A and B are shown apart, each in its own frame.
Chain A
């Protein structure tokens, strides 16, 4: 086997195969096709003009045509882009955008009353205050009796939650009872 010439090699089956010529050491530029090397030479950075030119580069014909269409036909009018931006900046936000966040919109107060300890209406606002005051006075009295029965003392607050309303009753330090009726708006799941 040592008699094999230097330009012949043995493959895995023991057969003689001609030796491939050793690759010559060439530069990367020389290894590329001639056309590719030419393209690289065209994109050499020192040949790109990075200085800002006095005049903008010429636009393609289609783009230039669109810009020409946007240009106002009456020279005394401002360009079309400036008008809507100015209006948007100066106009107040629409009412819907001034709504409070969703979490604060769950309740909408519709009635509010303040009752004295004897049931006299000291202050009332909103719709149907008389009926609401009567219901508050009744619930507050029952709550006081329940607290007394179970030896829990005087109640501090009372909540009555219905499907569509939420009533909050608070006993104040001066003996008065304040209450508010709110409509419950179920949050929508998106």
Chain B
């Protein structure tokens, strides 16, 4: 199974808009997101996502973090080498999402070290205004796939 196929399997869960993966320090490793989410935004968010796990107690291994916004949620699942971040609708079946994310995280644990993915700059790269709301950010059907230096859209 290819890395993007693994991320794409999350879309089997109704309400999943897309996902991306950051490594242990927050660098973007994989993405399966609509083009409206540019890589500069992910690069800015990545290190903060990686540091979120530091907010857990020392004696309690973290499992996941759920960030709730007005129009969507971000489900972040920790795995050994990084974090799997999934954009979902508020109405998503959370139990199914947790199970699907678990499978993908397990796959990433096993396969990600062997994958060398270079994320290219996304076509949309203007800086994000602070506090700006995403206008229909996750309703677009168009998806940008970046894998091994090649960009695919569909």
Contact = CB atoms under 8 A, between A and B. Distances in A.
Do chains A and B interact in one complex? Answer: yes
A150 interface: yes
Given A162-B57, A165-B57, A151 B68 contact: no
Contacts of B130: 148
Contact of B72 (A135, A152, A154, A157): A152
Given A149-B44, A163-B61, A163-B63, A158 B131 contact: no
Interface stretch (B8-16, B47-55, B113-121): B47-55
Given A147-B69, A149-B41, A150-B37, A142 B48 contact: yes
A159 interface: yes
B60 interface: yes
A3 to B, nearest CB: 93
Nearest to B42: A150
A153 B57 contact: no
Given A142-B48, A150-B45, A135 B65 contact: no
Contact of A151 (B52, B56, B134): B134
B128 interface: yes
A155 interface: yes
A159 B60 CA distance: 14
A152 B74 contact: yes
A189 to B, nearest CB: 16
21 contacts: A135-B55, A139-B55, A142-B49, A142-B55, A145-B45, A146-B45, A146-B67, A150-B41, A150-B74, A150-B134, A151-B128, A151-B132, A152-B133, A155-B67, A157-B66, A157-B68, A158-B66, A158-B67, A161-B63, A164-B59, A165-B56
CB-CB nearest 9 A-B residue pairs: A139-B55, A149-B45, A162-B60, A149-B44, A157-B68, A159-B66, A152-B69, A156-B68, A142-B48
Interface of B: 37, 41-42, 44-45, 48-49, 51-52, 54-57, 59-72, 74, 128-134, 137
